[in-house]
Structure 1
Amino acid sequence: MSTPAERAAARRPREQWTGQAGFILAAIGSAVGLGNIWRFPGVAYENGGGAFLIPYIVALITAGIPILFLDYAIGHRFRGSAPLSLRRLGGKGLESLGWFQVAIAFVISLYYTAVIAWALSYFIFSFDLRWGDDPAGFFQGEYLQVSDPGVSLQFVPGVLIPLAIVWIATLLVLGAGVAKGLERANVIFLPILVLAFLVLVIRALFLDGATEGLNALFTPDFAALGNPNVWIAAYGQIFFSLSIAFGIMITYASYRRRRSNLTAPGLVVAFANSSFEILAGIGVFATLGFFAFQQGIAVGELEGLTGVGLSFVTFPAIVSQMPGGPLFGALFFGSLTLAGFTSLLSVLQVVSAGVQEKFGLTRVKATLGIGGAAAVLSILLFSTTTGLIALDVVDNWSNNIGIVASAVLTTVLVIWVLRKGPELQHHLNTVSTFQLGRTWVVLVGGLVPVLLGYMLVSRIVALAVEGYEDYPVGYLGVFGWGTIGLIVAAAVLLPFVRWRSHREPFTAWPPFDRSAVTATRNGGRR
């Protein structure tokens, strides 16, 4: 017999976006994150420059958009968080996959907030160029106070304070709800992000050496197209930049009204994300061209063209040498902070939604409970002197193994095992203006799992045989493989916890008759 709290949870109407524009802005805000700014330019440069745009666009069309549509279809048709939607789709076994995705999102939120906290600190540091003449030494030494791999309880105040601020802001937005919190934050912050980055790019284009930087990025090396690793890199970039396959877009789509266009907005989100990546590449490499010009070397001779090194070492060094450096630095790190924050909100909403629905909690209780626990863990792990190393390892395993495994499992189980492709295709076509053919099912069930399966196996073998960054094997076992172990444990155990809400029979809409759809494809012949 259900409790009054459980009955109240079951009666609560599902939150919704105010409209299509709000959903699109929130989805773009989720997709446009740190990786767009610090990952894409370096990946493109290292994999054929301008020629890389060919496999990149192919990957977007054949993998990124199809999986995005798959997430939309699951969330919108089955009206729940990742665990609830997947349970309604395929039972308790598929619910495990939903909790696998929730656990990945939880882990990512722990360290993603730390990077946002760094960016927020550097936004302040930009005004007086506090890193001085040695940005690398300042970042790892004076700011992060990095020590050897291990477990440390020596907190770094310069990280702990902004990290606490980021968590407080995040919990306030999540506690306000989907429309008043998530949507409103993206409506405000996303235009500011785009405007700030446009100003940064325009300023960068007028720097000495900017042309050389753009030439380095966009000069095509068509010979690279014959290298399979370049194509794998393109699929990897698209996959990691669109916020797909770990619960975000399932959750976001579930907040759309039942009669909502899905595919056309999905195209807007996908191409808007890729457009921002290209814009970021222009801004970053125009700036790197200036840096190389100042030093009298080629752009290719610069170090730190991607990731943490690009943002917190190379860019501060550039800012110190350029006219109007403090303003340029503030624009860059302000953009980094906003891009990270809008993505973080979507990551934590995956966790909050799953917990709300499983345990029958109110939005505020779920936010305070799960968000509070995440904040404490985040501070304990990533605001200490070993935080940078722990972040590097956890990020590598959760992204390259966790998210890729989630995508492979989703496509194989949903399309191959449960054979739900036709139903999900029918759902998308019924509510959307842009219609999908059977090619979509072939891409999601064939090309995507094969390519991502190859990426997953290759990465697991490499990490198991070669290790990572010369870190101790024991340390990688705890923070790397241990992270995957915890994610798997959550996926295995949580489906056995009783649902305290959403236990009523669920009927998906619109109705789907597989035999009728088959007959239609065969021209009415049964």
Structure 2
Amino acid sequence: MSSTDREQWATRIGFILAAVGSAVGLGNIWRFPFQVGQEGGAAFLVVYLAFIILIGLPAILVEFVIGRRSERNPIDAFERLGYRAWTIAGLLGVLGGFIIMSFYSVVAGWVTRYTLASATGAYFAEPAEYFMDIAAGTDALLFHLLFMGLTAIIVGLGIQRGIEMAVKLLVPALVALMVLLIVYGFTLDGAVQGYAYYLSPEPGAIAANWTSILPAAAGQAFFTLSLGMGIMITYASYIDDERSLVGDGAWIVGLDTAIAIMAGLMIFPVLFTIGVEPGAGGAGELFIGVGGAIAGLPGSRIIGVLFFGTVLVAALSSAISLTEVTVSFLIDRFGLDRPVATGIVAGGIFLLGIPTALDLMVLELYDQVTAELFLPLTVFLLVLFVGWFYDEALDEVSKGVSADWLPGAWLWHVRTIILVVIGITLILSIQGLIETLPETIEAIELL
């Protein structure tokens, strides 16, 4: 496919909402709260926000530059730019995103199940037991298949008729539902405790635990901004040359961060109201903790449908982008029709996700390896490439920017501060992976 007949976003808001929808997803509503809980509450939030502002925004522009300049998927982009040896960076991103989507779809299947179960109150009596019953096994496999089928239908319809149209409905709906649930959470008995835990860091907490908080915050930032997965390279390949990458990037990062903060405001009051310790539930925290809280509330069935329906909308918006990355590669490289490419990718994701649907520890293994290895390594390579090897990066990021000093400052920041911080983060992440990975693998073998 040539660049002249390559699909493009019909509107700027369509691209921004698609990127925001990708960034928000389960990363903000499912993964973010239990990351906050596992890393000590507000101390994690402070480091996370700092990482988003100082590293996340400049790094997203790195991926935008590669995508728009090449008009290709992450694997073919480097060859198109004349740097074939760097294809490994794109390959790592696509592979990481593919693995993430395989367990992401399983979690989204749980969300689908809980949305339906809320209408009948099926999990109200024994929330923990209900989650363990449906989290792994035949039911999890079937809902994994159902969710992947829905995602494939939207992606198969294309950029404008499928993805862009879907996110224009999904993202505003997500925000509206979250606002409704935040207002409701404000009325709960545990609201004050929840807000204090989430928004008031303990003195010295960051300094005492920075070696664990920094990699966790970085992994969450990469996950929630869809960095290192090839998504932003792919989405940027559909942007026309007239738009400001800086402006679009700022909108995307700002909206994503706002929704992440909203997720905490929505969930922590609920957890403290029913006495659930943040972080204790791991991957099931959202379902056990919030599900248990909903069970004891007036109008519980309606609230349950609204809450898990909100999470489902977020999950679908991210699943679309994760799937599109590999679909784009098959279309660009092999000239496949979009429906055929989508069917192949969706089938492959479903097959890779089967082990995670049958064993929770496999899901944790996939999550750990992608967040602590694939994402930071891919982002490090992309930053290194744009900062020190790709001479046309400055020209690309300058388009549509009125402040003459900004592109140069961005490039200096990418070459120095970002490269060093992500390098340190990568080293800490690998150290943590080496320490904990054997235990995870052993737990899988014992099951």
| 3-state SS in 2 of match to 1:256 | coil
* C-alpha displacement of 1:268: 0.8
Report the AA paired with residue 287 of structure 1: V
* C-alpha displacement of 1:231: 4.4
* C-alpha displacement of 1:237: 2.9
Aligned pairs for 1:61-140 (under 5 A) are 61-140=53-132
Specify whether residues 57 and 382 from structure 1 end up closer, same or farther in structure 2 by C-alpha distance, changes over 3 A only: closer
Instruction: Give the Cα separation in 2 of the matches to 1:206 and 1:474.
Output: 42
* C-alpha displacement of 1:475: 4.8
Instruction: Give the Cα separation in 1 of the matches to 2:362 and 2:436.
Output: 18
Specify whether residues 306 and 443 from structure 1 end up closer, same or farther in structure 2 by C-alpha distance, changes over 3 A only: farther
Instruction: Give the Cα separation in 1 of the matches to 2:22 and 2:237.
Output: 15
Instruction: Give the Cα separation in 1 of the matches to 2:382 and 2:60.
Output: 12
Aligned length: 443
Instruction: Give the Cα separation in 2 of the matches to 1:259 and 1:451.
Output: 32
Instruction: Give the Cα separation in 2 of the matches to 1:131 and 1:108.
Output: 27
The answer for the alignment partner of 2:205 in structure 1 is 224
Pick the structure with greater CA Rg.
1
Instruction: Give the Cα separation in 2 of the matches to 1:103 and 1:231.
Output: 24
Report the AA paired with residue 427 of structure 1: E
* C-alpha displacement of 1:235: 3.4
The answer for the alignment partner of 1:190 in structure 2 is 171
Instruction: Provide the TM-score with structure 2 as the length reference.
Output: 0.92
| 3-state SS in 2 of match to 1:39 | helix
The answer for the alignment partner of 1:161 in structure 2 is 142
| 3-state SS in 2 of match to 1:467 | helix
Report the AA paired with residue 177 of structure 2: A
The answer for the alignment partner of 1:390 in structure 2 is 362
User: 1:213 aligned to 173, 190, 194, which one?
Assistant: 194
The answer for the alignment partner of 1:461 in structure 2 is 431
Instruction: Give the Cα separation in 2 of the matches to 1:473 and 1:137.
Output: 20
- Of the structure 1 ranges 361-370 and 47-56, higher mean CA displacement relative to structure 2 is found in 47-56
| 3-state SS in 2 of match to 1:123 | helix
- Of the structure 1 ranges 34-43 and 350-359, higher mean CA displacement relative to structure 2 is found in 34-43
The answer for the alignment partner of 1:427 in structure 2 is 396
Q: Residue 368 of structure 2 contacts residue 433 of structure 2 at CA under 8 Å; is this kept in 1?
A: no
The answer for the alignment partner of 2:283 in structure 1 is 308
Q: Residue 10 of structure 1 contacts residue 360 of structure 1 at CA under 8 Å; is this kept in 2?
A: no
Show CA shifts across 1:106-128 (max 9, x none). Answer: 22221111110110001111122
Higher helix share: 2
* C-alpha displacement of 1:32: 0.4
* C-alpha displacement of 1:463: 3.0
The answer for the alignment partner of 1:452 in structure 2 is 422
Q: Residue 78 of structure 1 contacts residue 85 of structure 1 at CA under 8 Å; is this kept in 2?
A: yes
* C-alpha displacement of 1:10: 4.2
User: 1:55 aligned to 47, 58, 65, which one?
Assistant: 47
Instruction: Give the Cα separation in 2 of the matches to 1:225 and 1:389.
Output: 29
Specify whether residues 306 and 442 from structure 1 end up closer, same or farther in structure 2 by C-alpha distance, changes over 3 A only: farther
The answer to whether 1:15 aligns with 2:7 is: yes
Specify whether residues 67 and 470 from structure 1 end up closer, same or farther in structure 2 by C-alpha distance, changes over 3 A only: closer
Q: Residue 97 of structure 1 contacts residue 406 of structure 1 at CA under 8 Å; is this kept in 2?
A: yes
Instruction: Give the Cα separation in 2 of the matches to 1:322 and 1:468.
Output: 41
The answer for the alignment partner of 1:286 in structure 2 is 269
* C-alpha displacement of 1:190: 1.0
* C-alpha displacement of 1:186: 0.3
Instruction: Give the Cα separation in 1 of the matches to 2:13 and 2:286.
Output: 31
Specify whether residues 78 and 303 from structure 1 end up closer, same or farther in structure 2 by C-alpha distance, changes over 3 A only: closer
Specify whether residues 283 and 403 from structure 1 end up closer, same or farther in structure 2 by C-alpha distance, changes over 3 A only: same
The answer for the alignment partner of 2:222 in structure 1 is 239
User: 2:326 aligned to 311, 336, 351, which one?
Assistant: 351
Report the AA paired with residue 71 of structure 2: R
* C-alpha displacement of 1:368: 1.8
Q: Residue 372 of structure 2 contacts residue 433 of structure 2 at CA under 8 Å; is this kept in 1?
A: no
* C-alpha displacement of 1:44: 4.2
User: 1:441 aligned to 404, 411, 416, which one?
Assistant: 411
The answer for the alignment partner of 2:372 in structure 1 is 400
Show CA shifts across 1:272-310 (max 9, x none). Answer: 001011111111112123213xxxxxx7xx254565232
Specify whether residues 466 and 56 from structure 1 end up closer, same or farther in structure 2 by C-alpha distance, changes over 3 A only: closer
Q: Residue 31 of structure 1 contacts residue 273 of structure 1 at CA under 8 Å; is this kept in 2?
A: yes
Q: Residue 17 of structure 1 contacts residue 178 of structure 1 at CA under 8 Å; is this kept in 2?
A: yes
* C-alpha displacement of 1:443: 2.5
